[in-house]
């Protein structure tokens, strides 16, 4: 099954922008020598760049603190590295990579989707999380893959990636209802106008809040993986971060983070991402 | 201006547009018929009904005419399921359009009936016509001719208003245009084509009403 993933395309376009700003930034930044784990442990402080405007990944809470999925992961990684203090720095999307390369932040845990264009300028760690486009629906429905959608009413946001994906791949007899926006689509699900909807897995948060226990995620249409961003010269730190992610997955700590912010277990992390070496 | 117009992908979607047009027509025609029925019943109740009935009709007309259509639509579609009444998108659209149009029709028809001179009605009665015959020949037929232009105008307005039901996923003409636009990123072309279709459609409807009017109202006053 092949999905046209326009989300990916959009992200790729955005990253081209980020990519070009990298050169701009690196033009007046002297190449730093590699940051070693020992140095960091000596300072006992890790400076982490996160996004602060993306609920639930990273956002400012009512106490003016940046909280969310990524800050939690950052603290866990720091703990694994044996560093006590974590400084969470808000970075805007376009300057995530420049700030990393210029040494303003040590690592970036900033919903960075692992894309080949980015992997050319920075080093990605192993994936620590995923953004998924999924089909969600009533708990009493038996829906395990796209062929089970036959005869069901499926809500999508008009013109979205999931609209294209489901319109092209759903079996004959699937009724696709298109709404002008996420809110209307979620309302249609909750009020029973549609049986399932296609959308970002973070929708489940709002759905669960409005109608606890009535809906669940059924299957994933496409996944985008997020990795920790590191400078290419920091090879030792990279290996240490990868080990940290391995043990955090093994201990279930990342599952907990995923449960806390997304209300679901961490999906299976891939051993490779096309065009993005991370080992 | 470096934008190059390209209508090929929009026009290639003509089967979808045709289906959308069909749904718009179906929805509008039924809604207009229901609105006029509501209008006749409502106007009669308001003129000849007992006090509580008149009050109910007044409340209905005032509430509907002083609230936005799109909110009425969302209330019926998204709101009513909370109290256990779930209408599918097509039913909710048809009902809201009819209830909305009906409120205006009540006033149009009431004004038409009231425009009949009292003396004319009394003349009918004194000629020995039955009550039913007075209503039919002395009141409704001449009143219909008076209110006809307003009735036609309101009907066309209902047809245009039907475009709003695209918001609750009814696949009518506007919804189809929105979808084509979202898929092709050709907003100018998509909406331009649909504007032309609506315009021609309404020219046709106006012409149809005019022909009906000429045939139906050639009786003497």
- Distance from the A106 Cα atom to the nearest Cα atom in chain B, whole angstroms: 40
Which of A158, A163, A193 lies nearest to residue B89, judging by beta carbons?
A193
- Distance from the A191 Cα atom to the nearest Cα atom in chain B, whole angstroms: 6
- Chain A CB within 8 Å of residue B168 CB: yes
Instruction: Find, among B17, B7, B15, B34, the residue nearest to B172 by Cα.
Output: B17
Which chain B residues contact residue A164 at CB under 8 A?
A: 183
If DSSP codes are grouped into helix, strand and coil, which group holds residue A99? helix
Q: Across residues A61-86, what is the average pLDDT? A: 95
Element (H, E) at A186: helix A182-190
Would you state the pLDDT for residue A251? 96
SS (H, E, C) chain B: CCCCCCCHHHHHCHHHHHHHHHHHHHHHHHHHHHHHHHHHHHHHHHHHCCHHHHHHHHHHHHHHHCCCHHHHHHHHHHHHHHHCCCCCHHHHHHHHHHHHHHHHHHHHHHHHHHCCCHHHHHHHHHCCCCHHHHHHHHHHHHHHHHHHHHHHHHHHHHHHHHHHHHHHCCCCHHHHHHHHHHHHCCHHHHHHHHHHHHHHHHHHHHHHHHHHHHHHCCCCC
Which chain B residues contact residue A158 at CB under 8 A?
A: 178-179, 182
Flag whether pLDDT at B217 surpasses 50. yes
Query: In this structure, are residues B64 and B100 in contact, taking their beta carbons and an 8 Å threshold?
Result: yes
Flag whether pLDDT at A23 surpasses 70. no
Instruction: Find, among B48, B46, B55, the residue nearest to B105 by Cα.
Output: B46
DSSP-derived pairing of the beta strands A85-90 and A45-50? parallel
Alpha carbon distance B61, B103 (integer Å): 5
DSSP A270: P
Interface test with chain B among A164, A193, A211, by most B beta carbons within 10 Å: A193
Alpha carbon distance A39, A251 (integer Å): 27
Q: Across residues A49-60, what is the average pLDDT? A: 91
Chain B's closest residue to A183, CA to CA, is B78
Question: A219-264 pLDDT, tens per residue?
Answer: 999 888 999 999 999 999 999 999 999 999 999 999 999 999 988 8
Q: Across residues B152-168, what is the average pLDDT? A: 95
Flag whether pLDDT at A27 surpasses 50. no
- Chain B CB within 8 Å of residue A181 CB: no
How long is chain B?
A: 221
Q: Within 13 Å and on the Cβ side, how many CA atoms surround A3? A: 22
Q: Which of residues 179-208 of B touch A (CB under 8 A)?
A: 179, 181-183
Share of chain B above pLDDT 90, in %: 71
Give the contacts of B214 (CB within 8 A, at least 6 positions apart): none
Q: Number of A:B CB contacts under 8 A?
A: 43
Would you state the pLDDT for residue A20? 52
Confidence grade of residue B221 (pLDDT, cut at 50, 70, 90):
low
Which chain B residues contact residue A155 at CB under 8 A?
A: 169
Q: Across residues B79-86, what is the average pLDDT? A: 92
Flag whether pLDDT at A213 surpasses 50. yes
Question: B32-80 pLDDT, tens per residue?
Answer: 999 999 999 999 999 989 999 999 999 999 999 999 999 999 999 999 9
Would you state the pLDDT for residue A14? 54
φ, ψ at A86 (rounded to 5°) = -120, 125
Query: In this structure, are residues A238 and A101 in contact, taking their beta carbons and an 8 Å threshold?
Result: no
Would you state the pLDDT for residue A28? 45
Which of B78, B175, B178 lies nearest to residue A187, judging by beta carbons?
B78
Chain A's closest residue to B81, CA to CA, is A191
- Distance from the B180 Cα atom to the nearest Cα atom in chain A, whole angstroms: 9
Question: A146-204 pLDDT, tens per residue?
Answer: 999 999 999 998 888 788 889 888 999 999 999 988 888 999 999 999 999 999 888 88
Which of A159, A179, A191 lies nearest to residue B169, judging by beta carbons?
A179
Give the contacts of B109 (CB within 8 A, at least 6 positions apart): B36, B39, B40, B42, B43, B143, B147, B151
Flag whether pLDDT at A5 surpasses 80. no
Instruction: Find, among A201, A143, A150, A202, the residue nearest to A176 by Cα.
Output: A150
With an 8 Å Cβ cutoff, are B182 and A159 in contact?
A: yes
Interface test with chain B among A138, A174, A180, by most B beta carbons within 10 Å: A180
Cα–Cα distances in angstroms (integers) from residue A272 to residues A114, A125, A275, B27, in the given order: 10, 11, 9, 53
Confidence grade of residue A36 (pLDDT, cut at 50, 70, 90):
confident
Q: Across residues B169-179, what is the average pLDDT? A: 93
Alpha carbon distance B21, B19 (integer Å): 5
With an 8 Å Cβ cutoff, are B168 and A158 in contact?
A: no
Q: Across residues B181-190, what is the average pLDDT? A: 86
Which of A159, A180, A192 lies nearest to residue B183, judging by beta carbons?
A159
With an 8 Å Cβ cutoff, are B86 and A177 in contact?
A: no
With an 8 Å Cβ cutoff, are B169 and A159 in contact?
A: no
- The winner for highest mean pLDDT among A56-70, A147-161, B90-104, B129-143 is B90-104
Q: Across residues B137-150, what is the average pLDDT? A: 89
Query: In this structure, are residues A90 and A67 in contact, taking their beta carbons and an 8 Å threshold?
Result: no
């Amino acid at each position: 099954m092949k999905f046209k993933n326009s989300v990916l395309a959009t992200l790729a376009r955005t990253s081209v922008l980020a990519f070009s700003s990298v050169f701009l930034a690196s033009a007046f930044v002297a190449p730093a020598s590699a940051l070693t784990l020992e140095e960091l442990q000596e300072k006992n402080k890790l400076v982490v760049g996160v996004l602060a405007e993306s609920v639930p990944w990273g956002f400012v809470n009512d106490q003016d603190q940046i909280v969310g999925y990524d800050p939690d992961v950052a603290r866990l990684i720091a703990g694994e590295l044996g560093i006590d203090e974590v400084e969470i720095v808000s970075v805007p999307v376009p300057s995530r990579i420049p700030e990393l390369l210029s040494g303003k932040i040590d690592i970036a845990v900033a919903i960075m989707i692992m894309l080949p264009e980015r992997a050319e300028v920075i080093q990605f760690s192993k994936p620590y999380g995923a953004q998924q486009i999924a089909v969600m629906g009533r708990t009493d429905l038996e829906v395990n893959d796209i062929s089970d959608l036959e005869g069901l009413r499926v809500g999508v946001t008009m013109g979205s990636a999931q609209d294209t994906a489901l319109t092209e791949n759903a079996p004959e007899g699937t009724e696709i209802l298109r709404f002008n926006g996420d809110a209307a689509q979620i309302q249609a699900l909750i009020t029973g106008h549609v049986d399932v909807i296609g959308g970002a897995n973070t929708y489940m948060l709002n759905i669960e809040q409005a109608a606890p226990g009535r809906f669940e995620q059924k299957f994933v249409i496409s996944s985008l993986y997020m990795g920790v961003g590191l400078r290419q010269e920091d090879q030792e730190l990279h290996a240490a971060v990868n080990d940290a992610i391995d043990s955090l997955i093994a201990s279930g700590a990342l599952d907990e983070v995923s449960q806390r912010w997304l209300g679901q277990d961490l999906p299976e992390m891939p051993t490779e991402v096309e065009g993005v070496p991370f080992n | 201006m470096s934008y190059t117009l390209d209508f090929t992908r929009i026009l290639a979607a003509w089967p979808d547009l045709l289906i959308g047009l069909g749904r718009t027509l179906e929805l509008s025609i039924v809604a207009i018929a229901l609105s006029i029925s509501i209008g006749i019943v409502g106007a009669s109740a308001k003129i000849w009904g007992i006090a509580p009935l008149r009050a109910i009709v007044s409340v209905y007309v005032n509430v509907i005419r002083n609230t936005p259509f799109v909110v009425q639509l969302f209330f019926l579609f998204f709101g009513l399921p909370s109290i256990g009444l779930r209408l599918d998108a097509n039913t909710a659209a048809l009902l809201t359009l009819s209830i909305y149009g009906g409120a205006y029709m009540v006033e149009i028809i009431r004004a038409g009936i009231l425009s009949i001179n009292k003396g004319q009605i009394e003349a009918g009665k004194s000629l020995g016509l039955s009550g039913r015959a007075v209503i039919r020949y002395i009141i409704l037929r001449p009143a219909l001719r008076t209110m006809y232009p307003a009735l036609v105008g309101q009907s066309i307005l209902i047809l245009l208003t039907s475009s709003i039901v695209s918001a609750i996923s009814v696949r009518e003409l506007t919804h189809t245009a929105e979808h084509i636009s979202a898929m092709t990123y050709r907003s100018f072309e998509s909406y331009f084509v649909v504007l032309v279709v609506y315009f021609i459609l309404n020219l046709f409807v106006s012409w149809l009403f005019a022909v009906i009017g000429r045939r139906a109202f050639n009786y003497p006053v």
